[in-house]
Structure 1
């Protein structure tokens, strides 16, 4: 049932009408609170399934879908966010396929992105909706350069992160959401080459949350066909090319969630559970392999949003339902 509208339900229902959990009030016994602050709206059109990432002290939003549900208005515009001024600046359009679910990472001050579900603008007549094209973005020159195609082939909804100057990408699914890809690849930006590494052993294959902290990659939750919302969580060690099982995510299993990393902590929130759009957020302590619930978001709950961190602050915005364009920041605060 996991189709393009990101409906993750076991019964015929809509995510918009599902009830939320009871409000969560954090304290020293049950959570680590932080502050959500509403920022200025994203300057482009409202969108879903876009990709957000950071290069240096700037955030970026790429592409997505300007329509909701099963409708399609795929876009390839590209925007830069300056947290010091809370301002957006449009940059050079993405020259790849106008697409949703593009993913990538940053290496040595440049962005590397690709894959996704999109329009075959560069190859008319090609009816394969998934993409494998891969591109480098240089913010200093505001220029895109075509790189070696993703070696895993056409797909959407992959995970991607960077560890010690190497990019990692894999998992994902096909347009029918029948495929559960688990292959995982590393990318050498200096040689422009992909190499397959150990497959992901987790349950989810699309809409999986992932981030990198302290030389290790982390991935978990996500959806899989048929109708699975996973909670398992894994650590990837590139030094030995091995995945290790970690503590399960303690919230409801979900896909299409937001995620970012701050210091030695990873954050996962929002997303689609089997019966609702989640509004809760959780913090993962990589040192102690432990999850804690944090403050519930004060705005609209959502899925298919963009999320990233800049200088110890988390940023979240856009998304479903309703092609949102609001933008928020999360400032963590410890409890004594």
Structure 2
């Protein structure tokens, strides 16, 4: 009788061990990929609503608002050395809410708001000579909260706010210095959307229109000159792929691309955000990555160089920030940074 009781206890013990092992395996499976590392602080004053882009192996950040003044300073980040160098100030009025992008080896900044006037002036930065040159004004209406991107050696600016929500788009050719209006983005008008490029195509996601956070998602193909609607960023279909699509939509988020995938992080909805999502154009699906490990924020800027994405500055409530973080989407989360 005693042996039977012992055997019974052993049989009960094995399922417990199995459950414990299964639990450990499940926990490992749920580890979110993507690791954030804090880098050397941005040397300029804290700010929000700046512009950021990359040219070659360097990142650039400039303009913005520090809680008191609009700014026109401009900075270069050496990702290899992890240090900042101040470059020539942007000409024209100090501003925030402008658009910045790189195309054909040069940087570009235009539009924005100087505290009293919406702007449409447009400037080219030559990184080799540290010189700004004014180019033809943006041909659309003066605005802020637009998006811009560079793809196939041309630049694009569209959407935003000029006392009306907008959806028009324009192409800039650095070789000729001329602007051409292209087809407007589909779907809703929007401001404070986010853009990123993957190879030879550009993507515009989210934003706000008529107090609604938008969930439509669009791809622009400069070869055809047309916009294509992709899967929405909310649980809208009867399929299971979008069942976990919660918290992707936002305003003033940061977008960048790495190794054929796009990334969307930070911004705000009902509050400031820190969640990070990865977009795979091959499957047209989004996957959640490790949350941003710094303070949740909105109106930050970002760029990608090499194998990493970078986030700089931003605002959390009335607190303006100057830290910079590096993101590696292929490393597992670590709480050491």
Asked if structure 1 preserves the Cα contact closer than 8 Å seen for 2:35 and 2:331, the reply is no
Give, in angstroms, the shift of residue 180 of structure 1.
1.1
Tell me which residue corresponds to 1:314. Answer: 309
Residue equivalent to 1:61: 61
In the alignment, which residue of structure 2 is the partner of 1:22?
none
Matched, 1:156 2:144: yes
Number of the residue aligned with 2:326: 329
Larger Cα Rg: Structure 1 or Structure 2?
A: 2
> CA RMSD of the aligned region, Å?
1.7
Name the counterpart of 2:225.
241
Correspondence for 2:295: 300
Larger RCO, structure (CA 8 Å, separation 6 or more): 1
**What's the offset of the Cα at 1:296?**
1.1
Compared with structure 1, are the counterparts of its residues 193 and 30 closer, same or farther at alpha carbon in structure 2 (3 Å cutoff)?
A: farther
Which protein has the bigger helix share?
2
Counterpart check, 1:213 vs 2:198: yes
In structure 2, C-alpha distance between the alignment counterparts of 1:202 and 1:334, rounded to whole Å: 36
> Residue 44 of structure 1 corresponds to which residue in structure 2?
44
SS at match of 1:183: strand
Superposed, which structure 2 residues align to 1:97-108 within 5 Å?
97-108=93-104
More displaced stretch, 206-215 vs 138-147:
206-215
1:180 and 2:165 aligned? yes
Q: Deviations over 1:224-248 (max 9, x none)?
A: 1x21111211111112211111112
Once residues 231 and 90 of structure 1 are traced to their aligned partners in structure 2, the CA distance between those partners, rounded to angstroms, is 38
- Secondary structure, in 3 states, of the residue corresponding to 2:256? strand
Task: After superposition, give the CA deviation of every residue in 1:19-48 in whole Å (9 maximum; x if it has no partner).
Answer: xxxxxxx97866851110011111011001
2:271 to 268, 273, 276: 276
Is this contact kept in 2: 1:31–1:294, CA < 8 A?
A: no
1:208/1:255 contact within 8 Å kept: yes
The one of 63, 76, 79 equivalent to 1:80 is: 76
1:89 aligns with 2:85: yes
Q: Using the alignment, how far apart are the partners of 2:246 and 2:189 within structure 1?
A: 15
Q: Does 1:258 align with 2:246?
A: no
How many residues are paired up? 293
How far did 1:202 drift? 3.0
Question: Which structure 1 residue ranges, 4+ long, deviate > 3 Å from structure 2?
Answer: 26-32
- Residue 334 of structure 1: CA displacement? 6.7
Q: Which runs of 5+ in 1 are unaligned?
A: 1-25, 120-126
Cα distance in 2 for residues equivalent to 1:181 and 1:149: 18
